[in-house]
Amino acid sequence: MANKPMTKTQLVAALAETMDSDKKTASAALDAITDIITKEVSGGGAVTLPGVGKIYCRERPERMVRNPATGEQFKKEADKVVKMTIAKALKDSVNG
């Protein structure tokens, strides 16, 4: 069975330990990074996290979709979706 995902509290604690800093500073750094990524991606840009991957926004065209419960088909408007491409270094470290 897979392990549970790391929570924000656990991430902040690990970041604080790695930075030799307190949790308040680590939490502020994590929040700042999150804000920067959100602003850049929502504005249509992309952010590359070295060794982790690239986060970007992609537009999806208008398309026909089907309601699985009723089988009814309808047209879904064009929208945007956030995607992430994982870096090769991270894939290699996971796969051994």
CA distance 53 to 23: 25
Whether residues 14 and 33 share a domain: the answer is yes
β-sheet bridge partners, residue 51:
none
Share of the chain above pLDDT 70, in %: 98
Task: Kindly state whether residue 18 falls inside one of the protein's structural domains.
Answer: yes
Question: How many domains is the chain partitioned into structurally?
Answer: 2
Task: Kindly state whether residue 1 falls inside one of the protein's structural domains.
Answer: no
**CATH assignment of the domain containing 72:** 4.10.520.10
Whether residues 31 and 50 share a domain: the answer is no
Whether residues 51 and 95 share a domain: the answer is yes
CB atoms within 10 A of CB 40: 15
Q: Which residue has the tokens 């549970």?
A: 4
pTM, two decimals, is: 0.77
CA distance 53 to 37: 12
Task: Kindly state whether residue 59 falls inside one of the protein's structural domains.
Answer: yes
- Domain range for 81: 44-96
Q: What is the pLDDT of residues 5-51, one digit of tens each?
A: 999 999 999 999 999 999 999 999 999 999 999 999 999 999 999 99
